[in-house]
Amino acid sequence: MTPVDTASTAGSAPSAPRLTAAGRRTRARIVGAAAELMFRKGVAGTSIPDVQQAAKVSASQIYHYFGDKNDLVRAVIRYQIERTLQGQQPLLDRLDSIEALRAWCAAAIEVQKQRDCAGGCEVGSLASELVESCDAMRDDLVAAFDRWEAPIRDGLRRMRQRGALVPDADVDQLATALLAAVQGGLLLTQVRRSTEPFRAATDAAIGYIETFTA
């Protein structure tokens, strides 16, 4: 069963039912298992029975927490952006210098080296597969990338406020350019099994940001 675009799935994420502590743990186990499978096999290549087996739950348990596969996929999107942001802390909290931006990108390169450049970006891979599938999922992906871009923009804004960037530096545009470089670099790194595309893309984006330094 693959995600479909229906009126019933459009709009905000469905509200979660009240859960016991055990229920929260079971739900989290289902989402974590689904996220791992979808990262390795893709959304279309991951079935509900696959998730059942990986999470060691029944189909009725999955459908207790998620109305359908679309609901589960949307939970996975939120899970992956949370995990991505948590994994990049505390670097994301201090992206307010050229050196800090370079350190953030260097840390991402090390992660890719540890993976042998396989898999790409957890959020980006979902986006490439789902962005045209369902309006609600597209909204979730927009929100996910907005959350990722926010600390970049905030750091650049702090640089501008203290005079490290010129007053007319467009921090929104610069933040988008850097995040786009990260995403494009991750994709080429996955395809070429080399971190050099990521390094080249992010070095170029940070070099562009440097042209606005005071």
**Alpha carbon 23 to chain centroid distance?**
25
How many angstroms separate the Cα of 98 from the Cα of each of 13, 141, 160, 184, 205? 37, 28, 12, 20, 11
88-210 carries CATH number 1.10.357.10: yes
**Model pLDDT, residue 17:** 59
Per-residue model confidence as pLDDT tens digits over 57-115: 999 999 999 999 999 999 999 999 999 999 999 999 999 999 999 999 999 999 999 99
**Model pLDDT, residue 4:** 39
- Paired residues of 213 in beta bridges: 165
Q: Hey, what's the torsion of the CAs at 105, 183, 126, 85, to 10 degrees?
A: 30
Sequence ranges of the domains in the chain:
7-76, 88-210
pLDDT exceeds cutoff 60 at 47: yes
How many angstroms separate the Cα of 143 from the Cα of each of 39, 78, 147, 178? 19, 9, 6, 17
Per-residue model confidence as pLDDT tens digits over 178-209: 999 999 999 999 999 999 999 999 999 999 99
Per-residue model confidence as pLDDT tens digits over 19-36: 799 999 999 999 999 999
Domain 7-76 class in CATH: mainly alpha
Q: What is the mean pLDDT of residues 122-131?
A: 95
* d(C-alpha 122, C-alpha 107), whole Å: 16
pLDDT exceeds cutoff 50 at 2: no
